[in-house]
Amino acid sequence: MPKTKLSKEKIDYKEGVALFKNWVKHNKKLEDMGLYGTDYYVRRVEELEAKVKQLEAKLKRKVQ
C-alpha cells in the first residue's frame, strides 16, 4: 500500500484525538489518586505556597 499524504483536516483530527486521549489518561490517574475536579490544582497551589514561604524564610535568614 502506498503511503498517502494526509490532509490538514485529518492531521488536525488525529492530533485532537491524541490530545483528548492524553487528557483522559491524566484525569484517570488523578482519580486513582483520589482527586476530582480542581482538587489537584488546589493541592498543588498549597504545596507551592508552602515552598514559597519556606524560601522566603530562608532568604530572610540569609539577609540578616
Cα distances from 11 to residues 16, 19, 32, 60, in angstroms, run 9, 12, 32, 53
- Looking at residue 54, what is its pLDDT? 96
Indicate the pTM of the whole model: 0.52
Question: What does the pLDDT look like over 8-36, one tens digit per residue?
Answer: 888 899 999 999 999 999 889 888 888 77
Q: Is the pLDDT of residue 1 over 60?
A: no
- Mean pLDDT value across the chain: 88
Summarize the confidence of residues 45-52 as an average pLDDT: 97
